[in-house]
Amino acid sequence: MQKRILGNNGLEVSALGLGCMGMSFSYGPPKDKQEMISLLRTAVERGITFFDTAEVYGPFTNEELVGEALSPLRDQVVIATKFGFDTSVDPRAMKGVGPVLNSRPEHIRQVAEASLKRLRTEVIDLFYQHRVDPDVPIEDVAGAVQELIREGKVKHFGLSEAGVQTIRRAHAVQPVTTVQNEYSLWFRRPEEGLLQTLEELGIGLVPYSPLGKGFLTGKMNEKTSFDSTDFRSTLPRFTPEALKANQTLVDLLGRIAAEKNASPAQVALAWLLAQKPWIVPIPGTTKLERLDENIGALAVELSADDLGKIDNAAAQITVEGARYPEKLEQMTGR
């Protein structure tokens, strides 16, 4: 398994991580616990060392799953989790007022203590602010995590979906190891200043939804329907009209995949990996064959000519539909 370094503090992880959210939350009903434990342990056998969870996934059940699965292998893995939501308010009530943020320093500490127990560990390797809380200065957030780092409860500080100025302000207080933002051929906003800022500051990027929440795998079309427990049923980009309009992008990946004897998903991940050596995507899956397919992306070599072709063709495609409902979109880029 290839390794990559995130940030200037030497956090070494496998070149692909594993997003664990969908095992418990957001993409339909929770999956069978024993099957997911087996999948997580198999991922470690395959060389994956970087696992992503959050207290809000479930809430709490995903951290518990990751903790149970990985505690026997703790010395082989890097576990990232997140704080920043008020979990006394059900996060699934997003169709109403939306999730409630809480990054007050005393709450950050409470979350850390609870996450340590659920993850069955003595230290959180990477602790992200899940979304920027406009009611709490980012300097206070960074200071709270800094205290946890000094106490040995956290190793690295991360931010998710933060704006460039917020990243700079946080980094000035406590060095940010990595930023987790959505980034893929389907969503390229990080290229508009974020990548440049991260390179300047020596911060890694962990793209979530690197396969466009499944769309870039080529296994969906306008006839695809989503269960009411599937988060995608609420997303503008997953309406039948948007899926049909965006098929052009998947067709492009399919053509390149055929030339490379690869799958569209593998090309989409290989494209991300080729952007910068400090990018580590975290595709999520609940199936072993998909895990193996994703790992296979590391063997797909895209030349400068291939990357140029992809960029030129992708530039001609306008992606239809917002990625989130308005209330959730407002929580990004602050």
Instruction: Select 3-212+271-300's CATH number: 3.30.420.40, 3.40.50.800, 3.40.50.300, 3.20.20.100.
Output: 3.20.20.100
Instruction: Please tell me the predicted confidence (pLDDT) of residue 93.
Output: 52
Q: Cβ distance 181 to 190 under 8 Å?
A: yes
Q: What percent of the chain has pLDDT over 90?
A: 92
Amino acid at 43: A
E strand spans, 230-328: none
> Residue 90 — pLDDT band, cuts 50, 70, 90?
low
Q: What is the pLDDT of residues 181-212, one digit of tens each?
A: 999 999 999 999 999 999 999 999 999 999 99
Q: Catalytic positions, please?
A: 57
Query: Where exactly are the structural domains of the chain?
Result: 3-212+271-300
Q: Residue 97 above 60 pLDDT? A: no
Distance CA 327, CA 100 (A): 11
Q: Which of 51, 115, 120 is nearest to 87 (CA)?
A: 115
Read off the pTM: 0.96
Parallel/antiparallel/unpaired status of strands 78-83 and 124-129: parallel
Distance CA 302, CA 281 (A): 16
Cα end-to-end span (Å), the chain: 35
CB atoms within 10 A of CB 307: 14
Pick the residue with more confidence: 96 or 322?
A: 322
Distance CA 64, CA 72 (A): 14
Distance CA 110, CA 91 (A): 18
Torsion of Cα atoms, 276 then 297 then 262 then 213, to 10°: -90
Distance CA 334, CA 324 (A): 15
The first and second tokens of residue 69, run together, are: 């699965």
Instruction: Please tell me the predicted confidence (pLDDT) of residue 74.
Output: 98
